[in-house]
């Protein structure tokens, strides 16, 4: 087992539906520690960087529109095998395929309106954490 830090990005649907508290409580109940947290509005430049693998897809403008509907909340969560464990708590990207009891199964709507983004690998987490947090904004507790 190894200690990892993952980015979890609470999407606009989580913010507008007041799901921050209940969802964050699930992560904390699972033993994850908050290393950083902040609310922010995302501009197109950061969205192009974050979703670089999707910018040429015809639905990319819909992603930008959705992600700019409301602020998002970026959270750095640390814990044992955090990358896989957080993704397990969330359930599959497609909320319609997510089992009840998972975060997306309980609160998500579809593939885009699915409450949170979470890093999918240690390498991705490192890049994503740097994208959303300055080094002095990450705290070891």
The domain ranges of the chain are 3-137
pLDDT band per the 50, 70, 90 thresholds, residue 119: very high
Average pLDDT of the residues in 72-91: 98
Query: Which of 77, 105, 117, 118 is the catalytic position?
Result: 117
Catalytic site residue 53?
Answer: no
Mean pLDDT of 34-62: 95
Cβ neighbours, 10 Å, residue 43:
11
pTM, two decimal places? 0.95
CATH code at 3-137: 3.30.70.141
Q: What is the mean pLDDT of residues 14-20?
A: 98
Q: How confident is the model at residue 141 (pLDDT cuts 50, 70, 90)?
A: confident
The pLDDT assigned to 1 comes to 75
Structure tokens at 64: 């930008």
Query: For the sheet containing 116-118, what is the strand order?
Result: 33-40, 72-80, 3-10, 116-118
């Amino acid at each position: 087992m190894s200690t990892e830090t993952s980015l979890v990005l609470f999407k606009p649907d989580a913010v507008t539906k007041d799901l921050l508290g209940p969802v964050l409580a699930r992560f904390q109940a699972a033993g994850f520690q908050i290393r950083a947290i902040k609310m922010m509005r995302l501009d197109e430049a950061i969205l192009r960087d974050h979703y670089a693998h999707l910018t040429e897809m015809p639905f990319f403008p819909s992603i930008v529109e959705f992600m700019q509907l409301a602020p998002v909340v970026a959270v750095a969560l640390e814990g044992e095998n955090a990358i896989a464990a957080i993704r397990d708590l969330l359930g599959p990207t497609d909320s319609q395929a997510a089992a009840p009891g998972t975060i997306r199964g309980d609160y998500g709507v579809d593939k885009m309106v699915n409450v949170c983004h979470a890093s999918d690998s240690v390498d991705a987490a490192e890049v994503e954490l740097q994208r959303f947090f300055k080094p002095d904004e990450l705290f070891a507790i």
